[in-house]
Amino acid sequence: MKILRQVAPILVLLLAMMYIPISNSPKKQKKQSIVVMAYYVPEKDYRPDLLPLEQMTHIIFSFTNVIDGEMKFRDAENKEKLQQLVAQRKKHPHLKVMIACGGWGADGFSDMAATVENRKKFVESVVAFNKEFQLDGLDIDWEYPAIPAAGTGARPEDKENFTLLMKELREALNTLERKQILTFASAGWKPYYKNVELLEVMKHVDYMNIMTYDQVGSSSPFTGHHTPLGYIEEKDIAGTPAAEIINEYRKSRQDDDRDYGPRSAEKIVGFCLDQGVKPEQIVIGAAFYGRAWKGVPSNNNGLYEKNSGAHIGWSTYNQIRNEFEPDEAYKRYWDPVAKAPYLYNARDSIFISYDDSVSVRLKTEYALNKKIGGIMFWQLGNDTKDKNSLLKSIYNVVADR
């Protein structure tokens, strides 16, 4: 019995070791998280308490402008609306509430950034603004440095001045007690990046929100995908009117190094990564609106065909979901190369390019798999109020990971 008492503990230990799993496989990696950023323009029936804020990480209230060299609202009523949105953080403590400055056709950036004194005045106004409203950050939407888009002022020096502006904003925002996020909206086409000191700017910001939409504008002489994910190569459009028009552009502008070929999220992300941008700083865009052209022939179901002009400059996804998709005259098609849907109405010769629940899901999966920063979209107010909204499709992908 004495011997058994001495041996028993050893036997128990040996038996226990037999059931301890031994594995040389690496530990399971933590799930990759991404940001989900919603640009938001207050709707007519403004109810921030009804917004699906639990489905996003950031909401970017749009827009302030550069007015008299400072960041201000054009409409004073937006102050109260912003306060109401910030108050929602009590129910959604995870949410980061930011402010966007600029937008398409917003002027004043070039003059503001041109001198040390002008930048100082603007930066001080930003700090005061974000402190007053207890915001979590700022998005600079300068469209575009050194490019006079939509008649905005521009000068060659914008390239260096943009870097200085972002550097000074970063330093000043760091003085606030509440941690600040600094982002900027960048274009989805290569020529933009010749006018910014990309890697220098990226030293001072958290994210670059690439506007991977409006890749084909409403004034384009040919139809196409305005917000595609997939990498579309020249060979993919060969033999179409779109390819012919692009080749004519190149011949008539031989000294122009503009990128006339098909654009997409995958293409511009690859370009930015090749330039040395960190993947975790890249955020791609989804469009909660569509572009439509009229007078489109039925060849290839209207894709990459000529048109007679814009049918609708843009239409909200809510309108597309409720009016166009249920209309039997409109048939939905899927382009596996572009990874994008489109609608074509053969009766009325109308072509519509847009994002739907399938394409935004693929964009979100791409962001997760590529391990880039995340996904953003323009803009929340355009989404359907149905349960199966575009935002819900994005949220479901992130939640399932």
Residue-wise pLDDT for 114-139, tens only, equals 999 999 999 999 999 999 999 999 99
Whether cis (ω within 30° of 0) applies to the bond prior to 249 is no
Q: What is the amino acid identity at position 71?
A: M
Residue 368 lies in a domain: yes
Q: Three-state secondary structure along 305-320?
A: CECCCEEEEEEEHHHH
- Span 299-312, pLDDT tens digits: 999 999 999 999 99
Q: And the tokens for 240?
A: 């179409």
- pTM > 0.75: yes
143 catalytic per annotation: yes
Residue 24 lies in a domain: no
**Pairing label, strands 207-211, 282-287:** parallel
Whether cis (ω within 30° of 0) applies to the bond prior to 109 is no
Q: What is the mean pLDDT of the chain?
A: 93
Residue range(s) defining the domain that contains residue 47: 29-287+356-400
**Pairing label, strands 374-378, 207-211:** unpaired
Residue 371 lies in a domain: yes
pLDDT at 251: 86
Contact criterion met (CB below 8 Å) for 305 and 222: yes
Give me the tens of pLDDT residue by residue for the chain, a chain 401 residues long: 444 444 444 443 444 443 434 334 444 445 558 999 999 999 999 999 999 999 999 999 999 999 999 999 999 999 999 999 999 999 999 999 999 999 999 999 999 999 999 999 999 999 999 999 999 999 999 999 999 999 999 999 999 999 999 999 999 999 999 999 999 999 999 999 999 999 999 999 999 999 999 999 999 999 999 999 999 999 999 999 999 999 998 888 876 667 778 999 999 999 999 999 999 999 999 999 999 999 999 999 999 999 999 999 899 999 999 999 999 999 999 999 999 999 999 999 999 999 999 999 999 999 999 999 999 999 999 999 998 999 999 999 999 98
- Span 20-67, pLDDT tens digits: 343 344 444 455 589 999 999 999 999 999 999 999 999 999 999 999
Contact criterion met (CB below 8 Å) for 380 and 39: yes
Q: At 140, which helix (H) or strand (E)?
A: strand 137-141
Residue 2 lies in a domain: no
CA distance 337 to 231: 7
pLDDT at 27: 44
Sheet holding 289-293, edge to edge: 310-316, 289-293, 350-353, 340-345, 330-335
pLDDT at 32: 53
Residue 214 lies in a domain: yes
pLDDT at 70: 98
Q: How far apart are the first and last CA of the chain?
A: 57
CATH number, domain at 381? Answer: 3.20.20.80
Among candidate residues 143, 168, 266, 305, the one labeled active-site is: 143
Residue 329 lies in a domain: no
pLDDT at 351: 98
pLDDT at 21: 40
Number of domains in the chain: 1
- For 215, residues 6+ apart whose C-beta sits below 8 A from its C-beta are 188, 189, 224, 225, 226, 227, 228, 262, 263, 264
Contact criterion met (CB below 8 Å) for 271 and 300: no
